[in-house]
Amino acid sequence: MTKIIDVSEYQPNIDYAKVKAAGIGGAILRCGYTGWGSSHSLNADKRFEAHYAGFQAAGVPVGAYYYSTADTVDFAKKEAEFVQSLLKGKRFELPIYYDLENNERQGKLSKALLTEIADTFCSAMEDAGYFVGVYANTSWFTNKLDHAALAEKYTIWLADYRGSNADRTLRRDIWQYSSTGSVNGINGNVDVNECYRDFPSIIKAAGLNGCGKEAPAPKPEAASYTVKAGDSWWSIAAAQLGDGTRYAELAAYNGKKPADTIYAGQVLKLPVKTASAARTYTVKAGDSWWSIATSQLGDGTRYAELAKLNGKTAASVIHPGDVIKLP
C-alpha cells in the first residue's frame, strides 16, 4: 500500500521535496475541468504545469485527473481530446482518472448513460495510449454508475470518508479516505489516499502514459570469415574466436563436422567470441619488459605496449612478485 495525495489549484504553494520526505509515494494532479455553467467551457487547472514540474523534480510519481460535467457521449469525446492536449509530452507513472461527481449536470442522468459517458472517455484515452480509470464516491458507484462493468475494464478510484464504516465491498485500486488530510509541505487540507497497486511498474512495462518502452538493443550483425589457403577449423577458431579448442563448435555452427574439409573462399559464420578472462603474469627475478613480452606475448617488440597497459613506461623498474596485466 502506498500513500498518495491529489492536488489542484486549491493547493497553490507546495514544497514538493517536503511532501516526498513526508512519505508520500505519488500525487494525482487535476489537469483541468469542465465548467458547469451555461458556457460548459473546457479549462486547464491553473497550477497543473507547476505541480507537474515540481513533483517530477522531487521524484514523486504523478498521475492526473479531469473533473467532468459531460452530460452527453459527444461531450465526453471533447473532454478526452482536451485532456490529451493537456497531457501531451508528459510522463505519468500513475493513471489518468475521469472524475464524475457533478450533480448539477450529471446527477439526473440514467445509470446507463452516465456509464456510457465514462466508458466513452476512457476508451478514447486508451486509444491514445493512456492507462485510465474512473473516480467517484461510493454513492455514485452504487447508484449512478455501473461499477462492475467499469471495474472490469478500468482502474477504480473510490472516495469514501466514513473511516471504519467505509464501504469494503466495491472493488477499488485507490481509496480516497479523507479530504482533510495534513501533509508536511502543503498548507491546509489535502485529499489523502491509499493505493493498492504498483502502477509505476505496470504503466512503464506497458509503455503507456508517455512512458514509452525502451527499444530493444539491436542485434549485432552476424560475423563471418572467408577461408584462406592453409586454414583449418582449429586455426580459424584460434584467430577469430580467441580459442582454438572451439573448433568443433565452429564447425557445428556452420552445419559441419571437424572432419569436413573447408576450402579457400568459403564463407563461415562465426559464433559469439567468448570474453577471455583477464591474464596476468607474476614477475620473476631477472625478468624485464622485453623478456616478459617475448615469453608471454610471443613478441619482445611489444614491451612498450605491455608497460603502457600497466601504467608504466619501458624505463620503469619491475620487481619480483609484481603482478603484470597481459593484453
User: pLDDT, tens digit, for every residue of 75-86?
Assistant: 999 999 999 999
Residue 322 — pLDDT band, cuts 50, 70, 90?
Answer: confident
As a whole-number percent, the residues of the chain with pLDDT over 90 amount to 67
Q: Is the pLDDT of residue 25 over 60?
A: yes
- Cα 206 from Cα 258, distance rounded (Å): 47
pLDDT at 273: 60
Q: What are phi and psi of 13, to 5 degrees?
A: -120, 110
More confident residue, 234 or 74: 74
* Fold assignment, 223-270: Membrane-bound Lytic Murein Transglycosylase D; Chain A (3.10.350)
Residue 315 — pLDDT band, cuts 50, 70, 90?
Answer: confident
Q: Is the pLDDT of residue 172 over 60?
A: yes
Across 93-117, b (16+ Cβ under 10 Å) vs e yields bbbbbbbbbbeebbeebeeeebbbb
Q: What is the pLDDT of residues 81-101, one digit of tens each?
A: 999 999 999 999 999 999 999
Q: Helix, strand or coil for residue 280?
A: strand
Q: Is the pLDDT of residue 298 over 80?
A: no
Quick count: other Cβ atoms within 10 Å of Cβ 90? 17
Residue 38 — pLDDT band, cuts 50, 70, 90?
Answer: confident
More confident residue, 157 or 288: 157
In order of 118, 137, 306, 325, the CA distances from 311 in angstroms are 68, 69, 9, 10
Domain 2-206 class, CATH top level: alpha beta
Q: What is the pLDDT of residues 267-279, one digit of tens each?
A: 999 887 655 556 7
pLDDT at 321: 82
pLDDT at 169: 93
Cell numbers placing 40: 460548459
Q: What angle do CA 110, 114, 116 make, to 5 degrees?
A: 115
For residue 280, the cross-strand partners are 325
On the question of a common fold for 223-270 and 279-326, the answer reads yes
Q: Where are the domains of the chain?
A: 2-206, 223-270, 279-326
For residue 174, the cross-strand partners are 157, 195
Residue 235 — pLDDT band, cuts 50, 70, 90?
Answer: confident
Q: What pTM, to 2 d.p., does this model score?
A: 0.67
Average pLDDT, the chain: 91
For residues 40-69, give the mean pLDDT: 96
Name which of 14-28, 33-47, 211-225 the model is least confident about: 211-225
Quick count: other Cβ atoms within 10 Å of Cβ 229? 7
Name which of 47-61, 186-200, 226-240 the model is least confident about: 226-240
Q: What is the pLDDT of residues 208-231, one digit of tens each?
A: 999 976 555 555 566 889 999 989
- Cα 89 from Cα 242, distance rounded (Å): 48
Q: Is the pLDDT of residue 12 over 90?
A: yes
Q: Is the pLDDT of residue 285 over 90?
A: no
Whether the Cβ atoms of residue 318 and residue 288 lie closer than 8 Å to each other:
yes
Q: Which architecture, in CATH terms, is 279-326?
A: Roll (3.10)
